[in-house]
Amino acid sequence: MDIQQPGLARRIDALLPQTQCTRCGYPDCAAYANAIALEGAPINQCPPGGAEGVARLAALTGRPALPLNPDHGNEGPRAVAFIDEDWCIGCTLCLDACPTDAIVGSNKRMHTVMETHCTGCELCIPVCPVDCILLENTSGEATGWAAWSAGQAASAQARYRAHRQRLGAAGAPAAHEAAHPHPEPMQTPAPTDTQDTKQSTIAAALARARQLRGADNTSSR
């Protein structure tokens, strides 16, 4: 993806934390870098980078170091996702949602998060049908770049590229996504037999999970 970015965009991308959280409003860090370089997007839309990140981008671009835009979130400590093993139904939805492939597991088997590779992007949380994913502060009072290193950013970027290749998305350059952050709506294709089977499996697992939770609630009264 780097070869498809202009020089300034590459340098901007190198200053971003590579959490791939999408809180900036773009599909990934590279797309945000392209938007800053090519479209004049504001440099204060990256909560993981925080105030230090804005200062670094300001120094590179010559723009004012504005306060972080709260519409995109607030600067905070580094968080890592954890999966409650008691409630995980093995639906695999979080595996594809994780931009760094930090979640391992298989269908109908309990999933787990590799803490070292988790960027705290939170993208796994909304796709979990049983709300069994929690975030835990792992950096104490340290926030932004004080809670994240250049080495971690480089590792996250490399894993994200591998993730895109695994999903077959390597042919969709981030530069194109940045130029078209809001593509025209497309017709949703009819679900395949495989999708129908997976949805049925998830629905059955959800039903079992609800029954178990209902039994737990009854016994605790």
DSSP state of 80: E
What predicted TM-score, i.e. pTM, was given to this entire model? 0.76
Write down the domain spans for the chain. Answer: 2-74+144-179, 79-137
Counts for the chain of helices (H) and strands (E), in that order: 7, 4
Q: Are 75 and 115 in contact (CB under 8 A)?
A: no
Specify the pLDDT at position 165: 92
- Vertex 14: Cα angle to 10 and 20 (nearest 5): 100
Q: What is the mean pLDDT of the chain?
A: 83
Residue ranges of the chain whose pLDDT lies below 50: 1-3, 170-189, 194
- Chosen CATH of 79-137 out of 3.40.50.11540, 3.90.950.10, 3.30.70.20, 3.40.50.1100: 3.30.70.20
Specify the pLDDT at position 219: 54
User: How does 149-185 read in b/e, with b if 16+ C-beta sit within 10 Å?
Assistant: eeebbebbbebbbebbeeeeeeeebbbebbeeeeeee
Specify the pLDDT at position 108: 84
Specify the pLDDT at position 181: 42
Specify the pLDDT at position 85: 87
Specify the pLDDT at position 183: 36
Tens-place pLDDT, residues 73-99: 999 999 999 999 899 999 999 999 999
Q: Extract the tokens encoding 74.
A: 């607030």
